[in-house]
């Protein structure tokens, strides 16, 4: 009885609220949770987008990010106090939550799937699909198939940009002969050590064997992990990691160096005026980790060349990563935000123009977005590259993010760390171990 | 349910500070009235039941809350440990078989043993020494005790940050800002006889760095799972039994363990020094008159006297080590074979999304404490007899 | 008495041991706290010990790192939240534990031993073990054999959930320590009150409680520090809403916000979150140290 009276009063309250709001969603709140820290560059950028949305609709969207996203989100999903929208750093998170029945399909949020697909490519959309139903909204992507270098240092020494793997090795040998270390390489990452090595292998996989076709088979475990193609890729990686003097600080430094610090030696000069390293293969987001005085030079003083070609007969391919979001309820306010994020081609503008100086270098996966709006030269170039790759179906997502967690965040990472410290003789053991761990 | 909604509605209407104060006032009045009400009820019961009822009234709420907040979850966890990833299918002991066969899980158990032995021993040892010496100081006792005790007031997260700063590693040729690496790379000279330096520019503009051959290299201390990368040990072959144990010494685990020793020594010191104060002075004086050396007095008089206190500290430390979570979580997050059971448990739940295995790890933690609790019970019993 | 033999503890050697141990204990703080007053850029370019040697430390001394964190938006709200979490989470378990401890010490009732064993046993349930089931309990209630024991509460994300959680986690140790403490009180005083016809409730409020102030203060300090420093439980039960942030989480968020090595913020942030615990610790130190041992020493 008490309950019904209470319900009645709630109803009245709701009616009053509706009357005041004039049927609009004004004042409704949407809580969004993700991995990039709230007060970090990416978190601020996301909030800028939401502020535009709030201005347009009156719905108050708030972004909260946490360093411990991974564990907190699992707790949230169990607690019943779930955020309205969750940004997962990997599509795997969306798939898992959808399988557990915790997410709302995009269709129920009034998203026109064809329009969505035309903007974000069928490939990206397919990553958030479970049993034929699309749950995940593609969002930011980054490009991993790039190598950072400083043109001035190259020019000074007469080095030219390597277009093929062999040229890169020749250049590396030249640099060693000149008394320097060619590569920066650091793969330490709290609880995720190893992903940098897996990224290298993925880039090689895309450029050897059957290219993207083999890559997809590898991701879906249609070829075993110790297949000769995979072994070949591991050998390429080992060549970089284990050739003496290739990596700054030596092989020991690879596992000890925090990935965010890895490129710092490039900006430092030793007693002879030489930089610590001349090349660093790392995704576009690394700019945010650079020393503050080096960041404005992204795209000019420090810029990128594409990851070298290995098998010239294969079409070009680009490796990348990115986050994916999904809604946990079908409230109108939630739906409105999802629609805005996915289908409004100008939604990304505040991120691109670095409004209020958030400093984020996030790149949208929406091919309709005008890449000339990006403030930094480098993001403009990378944005255009990503757009082209997506349109040509040459873009592939980070394999370790797509494999089962036991592999992608478990054995693959840990065995690559072992490989880095144990040397080339460990390749077979590493691949066998990963194959055996596949669930 | 309705109360919850009411609560949520209230949160919207009232300003938060008011709400919080209101909740505290209402809550404490409720608790007070609860005990008062029970007391009144008992007065209506026949006299002979009073003592028992009072016992129930005083102990009841505590038992109820413990059952709800600790026993019930514990039972649920044990139940879940026999089920699969998402808790749908019964799989018997499979999660436990995994716990004792998976390579990383075995390493985690090894680390837990190292921590248990290392932390408990070192904390007791340092605590005894500092407690014993500082207790006899004429002045400055409180000062020393405060210094040693202060880490207890700081969170494990803060302490870990402090030590991470000491162990910090940066790739060459960057300046080493961690104390250990910074002091390491700045000494000696390279093969050409040039001084090594921590990437410093001298007044005359020359730069001293440590990248040339002959200078000591910085070491990623938290990433070293063994001693093979340390220059002094590079040439030891790991074939011989003893040297292989030596070379495989997990230096990063030990360095992380020291953070906990640093934090808890103060606790042990305080407890021990109080116990030492309680030793009758004549006993020690008698020893001194007999001409016993100080070491002998400490070992044969003080230590036996502190036996029960040592057990209390050991119990508390064992439980704390088994629960240790933050130190690993904020430093290496378990990479490079530094994991501990409590972190592994969260990893299995949140990273590998496997509730069954996570529960099994929790149960292992729980079971590990049982021996020392039994020891305590035996002690309690024998004391009760005497 | 024996003036010729110098007492060993007055010998220089034992002082050297003590001083060196203290230095070892202080050193970790030293470089850390010192770095919190240096500009972020300098921390990375020059090690803290050479900055003292060259005088850079004095020249570049700055409070900027602190103001960057202290003037962060809503930090005061986070401080309020921390106290709103910590104070009830300290008082509730102590109140309930004090009642239980009194009964274990002074009332003879059936099943006392078993009940006490149960309390001790609960001390060893690891926090992590009960987090997830507790979260489910708070959201969906508990059903045993088809009977709803606890209704659907949906209190996750509110302060009440954190208070409950900390009460559960602090209760066993509180009961254990306070019982030990009360056992140490002169039994004759309690007995004589009983003979005078005072009820247990009166004895508890008028005698046992005032006499146990030291023990209670000790545990209160302990629990306060623990709850204040915790952010696992707070994050789990308060959720992620920015208005629910506690200081420890807020500072952590500010310091990881800038990626890479923001040592200037990490150090100053850590120092700021240490302030309240250190104040509490130093002002209650006397109670803390005395009370804690009250239980442990007798064993």
Shared fold status for A26-143+321-396 and A146-316+403-437: yes
Of C27, C154, C248, the CB nearest to B155: C248
C265 and C203, same structural domain?
A: yes
Residues of A in contact with B210 (CB under 8 A): none
pLDDT of residue C299: 36
User: In chain C, whose CA is at the least distance from the CA of A285?
Assistant: C259
How many whole angstroms separate alpha carbon C119 and alpha carbon C112?
Answer: 11
Mean pLDDT confidence for A232-239: 95
CATH number at residue C96: 1.10.3720.10
Q: How far is B342 from chain A (nearest CA, A)?
A: 13
Confidence class of residue B241 from pLDDT cuts 50, 70 and 90? Answer: low
Confidence class of residue B242 from pLDDT cuts 50, 70 and 90? Answer: low
pLDDT of residue C145: 63
pLDDT of residue B7: 59
Confidence class of residue C2 from pLDDT cuts 50, 70 and 90? Answer: very low
Residues of C in contact with A33 (CB under 8 A): 240
Instruction: Say if the Cβ atoms of C72 and A72 lie within 8 Å.
Output: no
> CB count, 10 Å around CB of B107?
18
Is the separation of the CB atoms in A192 and A302 below 8 Å? no
B137 contact partners, CB below 8 Å, separation of at least 6 = B144, C9, C18
Instruction: Say if the Cβ atoms of A40 and C252 lie within 8 Å.
Output: no
Question: At A396, phi and psi to the nearest 5?
Answer: -125, 140
Mean pLDDT confidence for B252-277: 89
B3 contact partners, CB below 8 Å, separation of at least 6 = none
Dihedral through CA A105, CA A106, CA A110, CA A111, nearest 10? -160
pLDDT of residue C159: 83
- Best A70, A75, A328, A356 residue to mutate vs chain C (most C CBs within 10 Å): A75
Residues of B in contact with C201 (CB under 8 A): 35-36, 39
* pLDDT exceeds 60 at position B235: no
Residues of C in contact with A31 (CB under 8 A): 240-241
Residues of B in contact with A67 (CB under 8 A): none
Q: Is B373 exposed, middle or buried (0-12, 13-18, 19+ CB in 10 A)?
A: middle
Residues of C in contact with A288 (CB under 8 A): 259-260
Confidence class of residue C81 from pLDDT cuts 50, 70 and 90? Answer: confident
* pLDDT exceeds 50 at position C295: no
Average model confidence (pLDDT) across chain B: 83
The answer to whether residue C44 neighbours chain A at the CB level (below 8 Å) is: yes
**pLDDT higher at C278 or A331:** A331
C154 and C17, same structural domain?
A: no
* pLDDT exceeds 70 at position A53: yes
Q: How far is A311 from chain C (nearest CA, A)?
A: 36
pLDDT of residue B187: 83
Q: How far is C75 from chain A (nearest CA, A)?
A: 13
The answer to whether residue A151 neighbours chain C at the CB level (below 8 Å) is: no
C245 and C162, same structural domain?
A: yes
Q: How many CB pairs under 8 A join A and B?
A: 109
Residues of B in contact with A193 (CB under 8 A): 335-336
* pLDDT exceeds 60 at position C6: no
How many whole angstroms separate alpha carbon B181 and alpha carbon B164?
Answer: 12
Vertex C216, ends C210 and C217: CA angle to 5°? 105
pLDDT of residue A17: 44
Average model confidence (pLDDT) across chain C: 80
User: In chain C, whose CA is at the least distance from the CA of A31?
Assistant: C241
Q: How far is A207 from chain C (nearest CA, A)?
A: 31
Residues of A in contact with B359 (CB under 8 A): none
How many whole angstroms separate alpha carbon C223 and alpha carbon C95?
Answer: 13
User: In chain C, whose CA is at the least distance from the CA of B34?
Assistant: C96
Q: Which of B162, B52, B96, B131 is nearest to B356 (CA)?
A: B96
Q: How far is C293 from chain B (nearest CA, A)?
A: 5
A45 contact partners, CB below 8 Å, separation of at least 6 = A350, A351, A358, A360, A362
Q: Which of C11, C40, C63 is the last residue of a domain?
A: C63
* pLDDT exceeds 90 at position A214: yes
Confidence class of residue A237 from pLDDT cuts 50, 70 and 90? Answer: very high
* pLDDT exceeds 90 at position B68: no
Confidence class of residue A9 from pLDDT cuts 50, 70 and 90? Answer: very low
Condensed to tens digits (0 to 9), the pLDDT of residues A166-182 reads: 999 999 999 999 999 99
Which segments within A254-300 are labelled E, that is strand? 280-281
Instruction: Say if the Cβ atoms of B126 and C21 lie within 8 Å.
Output: yes
* pLDDT exceeds 90 at position C153: no
Residues of C in contact with A37 (CB under 8 A): 253, 256-257, 259
Q: What residue numbers bound the domain in which C57 lies?
A: 1-63
Which CATH architecture is the domain A146-316+403-437 placed in? 3-Layer(aba) Sandwich (3.40)
The answer to whether residue C151 neighbours chain A at the CB level (below 8 Å) is: no
β-strands A146-149, A280-281 pairing? antiparallel
Of C132, C240, C254, the CB nearest to A39: C254
Instruction: Say if the Cβ atoms of C285 and B146 lie within 8 Å.
Output: yes
Residues of A in contact with C261 (CB under 8 A): 258, 260-261
pLDDT of residue A13: 44
Instruction: Say if the Cβ atoms of B54 and C103 lie within 8 Å.
Output: yes
Residues of B in contact with C296 (CB under 8 A): 271, 274-275, 309, 312-313
pLDDT of residue C127: 77
Condensed to tens digits (0 to 9), the pLDDT of residues A190-209 reads: 888 999 999 999 999 999 98
Q: Which of C63, C83, C98 is the last residue of a domain?
A: C63
- Neighbors of chain B by Cβ distance (3+ pairs < 8 Å): A, C
Q: How far is C177 from chain B (nearest CA, A)?
A: 11
β-strands A395-397, A318-327 pairing? parallel
Instruction: Say if the Cβ atoms of A3 and B2 lie within 8 Å.
Output: yes
Q: What percent of chain B has pLDDT over 70?
A: 91
Confidence class of residue C180 from pLDDT cuts 50, 70 and 90? Answer: confident
* pLDDT exceeds 80 at position B116: yes
Instruction: Say if the Cβ atoms of B288 and C2 lie within 8 Å.
Output: yes
How many whole angstroms separate alpha carbon A42 and alpha carbon C256?
Answer: 12
* pLDDT exceeds 70 at position A3: no
The answer to whether residue A428 neighbours chain C at the CB level (below 8 Å) is: no
Q: How many CB pairs under 8 A join A and C?
A: 82
Residues of C in contact with B350 (CB under 8 A): none
C185 and C50, same structural domain?
A: no
User: pTM value?
Assistant: 0.88
Vertex B325, ends C90 and C77: CA angle to 5°? 45
How many whole angstroms separate alpha carbon A188 and alpha carbon B332?
Answer: 9
What's the full length of chain A, in residues?
439
Domain count, chain C: 2
Of A2-16, B292-306, C212-226, C271-285, the one with minimum mean pLDDT is: A2-16
Average model confidence (pLDDT) across chain A: 89
User: In chain C, whose CA is at the least distance from the CA of B325?
Assistant: C128
Q: How far is C52 from chain B (nearest CA, A)?
A: 13
The answer to whether residue C64 neighbours chain A at the CB level (below 8 Å) is: no
A251 contact partners, CB below 8 Å, separation of at least 6 = A241, A242, A420, A421, A423
Range from A8-22, A168-182, C2-16 that averages highest in pLDDT? A168-182
How many whole angstroms separate alpha carbon A289 and alpha carbon C262?
Answer: 10
pLDDT of residue A12: 44
Question: At B351, phi and psi to the nearest 5?
Answer: -90, -50
C169 and C56, same structural domain?
A: no
Domain locations along chain A:
26-143+321-396, 146-316+403-437
User: In chain B, whose CA is at the least distance from the CA of C110?
Assistant: B52
The answer to whether residue C257 neighbours chain A at the CB level (below 8 Å) is: yes
Instruction: Identify the CATH assignment for A26-143+321-396 out of 3.40.190.10, 3.40.1190.20, 3.30.360.10, 3.40.50.300.
Output: 3.40.190.10
Of C138, C140, C259, the CB nearest to A40: C259
* pLDDT exceeds 80 at position C32: yes
User: In chain A, whose CA is at the least distance from the CA of C245?
Assistant: A64
The answer to whether residue A81 neighbours chain C at the CB level (below 8 Å) is: yes
Which CATH architecture is the domain B95-164+250-385 placed in? Orthogonal Bundle (1.10)
Domain locations along chain B:
2-80, 95-164+250-385
Q: How far is A274 from chain B (nearest CA, A)?
A: 10
pLDDT of residue A246: 94
**pLDDT higher at A83 or C5:** A83
Dihedral through CA A35, CA A41, CA A46, CA A50, nearest 10? 130
Of B5-9, B190-194, C32-36, C40-44, the one with minimum mean pLDDT is: B5-9
The answer to whether residue A100 neighbours chain B at the CB level (below 8 Å) is: yes
Is the separation of the CB atoms in A237 and A204 below 8 Å? yes
Mean pLDDT confidence for B346-365: 89
- Neighbors of chain C by Cβ distance (3+ pairs < 8 Å): A, B
Which residues numbered 207-266 in A keep a CB inside 8 Å of some CB on C? 258, 260-261
Mean pLDDT confidence for A154-167: 95
DSSP string across C65-77: HHHHHHTSTTHHH
How many whole angstroms separate alpha carbon C132 and alpha carbon C135?
Answer: 5
Q: How far is C93 from chain B (nearest CA, A)?
A: 9
Is the separation of the CB atoms in C75 and C252 below 8 Å? no
Instruction: Say if the Cβ atoms of B162 and C48 lie within 8 Å.
Output: no
Instruction: Say if the Cβ atoms of C297 and B16 lie within 8 Å.
Output: no
Q: How far is B1 from chain C (nearest CA, A)?
A: 5
The answer to whether residue A253 neighbours chain B at the CB level (below 8 Å) is: yes
Mean pLDDT confidence for C93-106: 87
């Amino acid at each position: 009885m008490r309950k019904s009276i209470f319900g009645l009063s709630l109803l009245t309250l709701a009616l009053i609220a509706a009357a005041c709001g004039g049927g609009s969603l004004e004042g409704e709140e949407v809580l969004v949770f993700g991995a990039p820290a709230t007060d970090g560059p990416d978190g601020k950028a996301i909030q800028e987008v939401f502020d535009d949305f709030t201005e347009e609709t009156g719905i108050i969207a708030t972004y909260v990010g946490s360093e411990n996203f991974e564990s907190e989100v699992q707790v949230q999903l169990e607690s019943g106090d779930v955020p309205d929208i969750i940004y997962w750093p990997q599509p795997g998170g969306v798939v898992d939550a959808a399988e557990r029945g915790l997410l709302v399909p995009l269709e129920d949020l009034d998203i026109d799937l064809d329009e969505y697909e035309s903007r974000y490519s069928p490939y990206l959309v397919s990553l958030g699909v479970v049993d034929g139903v699309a749950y995940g909204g593609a969002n930011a992507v980054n490009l991993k198939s790039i190598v950072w270098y400083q043109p001035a240092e190259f020019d000074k020494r007469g080095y030219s940009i390597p277009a093929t793997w062999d040229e890169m090795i020749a250049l590396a040998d030249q640099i060693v002969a000149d008394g320097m270390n060619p590569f920066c390489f650091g793969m330490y990452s709290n609880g995720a050590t190893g992903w940098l090595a897996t990224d290298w292998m993925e880039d090689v996989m895309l450029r050897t064997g059957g290219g993207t076709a083999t890559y997809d088979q590898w991701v879906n475990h249609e070829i075993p992990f110790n297949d000769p193609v995979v072994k070949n890729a591991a050998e390429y990686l080992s060549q970089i990691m284990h050739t003496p003097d290739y990596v700054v600080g030596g092989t020991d430094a690879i596992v000890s160096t925090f990935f965010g610090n890895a490129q710092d030696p490039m900006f430092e000069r030793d007693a002879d005026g030489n930089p610590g390293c001349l090349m660093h293969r790392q995704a576009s987001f690394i700019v945010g980790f650079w020393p503050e005085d080096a960041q404005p030079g992204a795209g000019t003083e420090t810029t990128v060349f594409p990851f070298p070609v290995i098998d010239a007969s294969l079409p070009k391919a680009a490796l990348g990563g990115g986050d994916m979001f999904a809604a946990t309820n079908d409230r109108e306010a939630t739906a409105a935000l999802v629609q805005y994020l996915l289908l409004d081609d100008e939604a990304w503008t505040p991120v691109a123009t670095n409004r209020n100086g958030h400093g984020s270098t996030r790149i949208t996966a929406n091919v309709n977005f005008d890449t000339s709006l990006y403030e930094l030269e480098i993001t403009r170039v990378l944005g255009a590259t990503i757009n082209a790759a997506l349109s040509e179906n040459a873009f592939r997502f980070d394999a370790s993010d797509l494999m089962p967690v036991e592999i992608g965040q478990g054995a693959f990472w840990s065995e690559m760390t072992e490989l880095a410290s144990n040397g080339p003789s460990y390749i077979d053991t590493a691949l066998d171990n990963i194959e055996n761990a596949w669930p | 349910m309705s109360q919850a909604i009411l609560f949520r509605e209230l949160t919207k209407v009232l300003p938060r500070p008011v709400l919080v104060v209101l909740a505290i006032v209402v809550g404490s009045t409720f608790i007070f009235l609860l005990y008062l009400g029970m007391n009144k009820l008992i007065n209506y019961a026949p006299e002979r039941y009073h003592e028992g009822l009072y016992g129930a009234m005083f102990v009841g709420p505590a038992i109820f809350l413990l059952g709800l907040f600790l026993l019930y979850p514990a039972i649920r966890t044990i139940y879940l440990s026999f089920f699969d990833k998402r808790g749908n299918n019964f799989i018997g002991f499979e999660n436990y078989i995994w716990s004792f066969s998976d390579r990383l899980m075995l390493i985690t158990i090894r680390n837990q043993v190292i921590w248990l032995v290392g932390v408990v021993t070192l904390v007791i040892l340092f605590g005894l020494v500092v407690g014993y010496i500082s207790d006899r100081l004429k002045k400055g006792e409180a000062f020393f005790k405060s210094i040693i005790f202060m880490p207890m007031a700081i969170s494990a997260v803060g302490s870990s940050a402090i030590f991470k700063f000491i162990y910090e590693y940066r790739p060459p040729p960057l300046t080493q800002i961690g104390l250990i690496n910074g002091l390491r790379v700045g000494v000696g000279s390279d093969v050409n006889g040039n001084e090594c330096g921590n990437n410093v520019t001298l007044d005359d503009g020359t730069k001293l760095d440590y990248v040339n051959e002959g200078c000591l290299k910085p070491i990623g201390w938290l990433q070293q799972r063994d001693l093979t990368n340390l220059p002094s040990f590079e040439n030891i072959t790991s074939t011989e039994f003893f040297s292989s144990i030596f070379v495989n010494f997990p230096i990063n685990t030990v360095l992380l363990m020291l953070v906990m020793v640093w934090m808890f020594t103060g606790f042990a010191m305080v407890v021990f020094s109080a116990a030492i104060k309680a030793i009758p002075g004549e006993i020690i004086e008698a020893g001194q008159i007999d001409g016993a050396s100080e070491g002998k007095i400490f070992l044969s008089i003080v230590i036996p006297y502190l036996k029960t206190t040592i057990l209390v500290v050991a119990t508390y430390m064992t439980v704390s080590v088994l629960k240790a979570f933050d130190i690993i979580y904020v430093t290496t997050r378990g990479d490079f074979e530094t994991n501990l059971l409590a972190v592994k448990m969260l990893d299995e739940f949140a990273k590998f999304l496997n509730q069954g295995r996570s529960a099994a790890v929790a149960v292992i933690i729980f079971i590990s404490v049982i021996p020392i609790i039994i020891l305590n019970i035996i002690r309690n019993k024998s004391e009760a007899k005497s | 008495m024996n003036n010729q033999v110098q007492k060993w503890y007055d010998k220089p050697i034992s002082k050297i041991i003590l001083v060196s141990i203290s230095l070892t204990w202080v050193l970790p703080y030293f470089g850390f706290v010192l770095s919190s007053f240096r500009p972020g850029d300098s921390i990375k370019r020059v090690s803290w010990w050479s900055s003292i040697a060259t005088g850079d430390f004095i020249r570049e001394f700055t409070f900027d790192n602190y103001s960057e964190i202290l003037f962060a938006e809503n930090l005061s709200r986070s401080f309020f939240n921390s106290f709103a979490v910590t104070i009830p989470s300290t008082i509730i378990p102590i109140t309930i534990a004090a009642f239980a401890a009194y009964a274990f010490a002074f009332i003879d009732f059936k099943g006392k031993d078993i009940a006490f064993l149960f309390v001790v046993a609960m001390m060893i349930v690891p926090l992590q073990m009960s987090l997830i089931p507790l979260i489910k309990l708070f959201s969906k209630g508990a059903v045993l054999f088809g009977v709803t024991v606890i209704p659907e509460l949906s209190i996750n994300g509110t302060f009440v959930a954190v208070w409950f959680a900390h009460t559960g986690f602090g209760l066993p140790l509180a009961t254990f320590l306070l019982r030990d403490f009360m056992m140490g009180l002169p039994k004759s005083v309690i007995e004589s009150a009983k003979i005078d016809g005072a009820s247990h409730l009166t004895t508890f409020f008028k005698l046992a409680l005032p006499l146990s102030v030291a023990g209670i203060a000790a545990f209160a300090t302990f629990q306060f520090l623990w709850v204040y420093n915790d952010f696992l439980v707070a994050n789990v039960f308060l959720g992620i809403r920015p208005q629910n942030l506690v200081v420890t989480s807020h500072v952590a968020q500010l310091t990881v916000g800038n990626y890479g090595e923001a040592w200037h913020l990490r150090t100053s942030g850590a120092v700021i979150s240490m302030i309240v615990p250190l104040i509490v610790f130093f002002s209650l130190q006397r109670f803390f140290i005395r009370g804690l041992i009250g239980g442990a020493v007798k064993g």
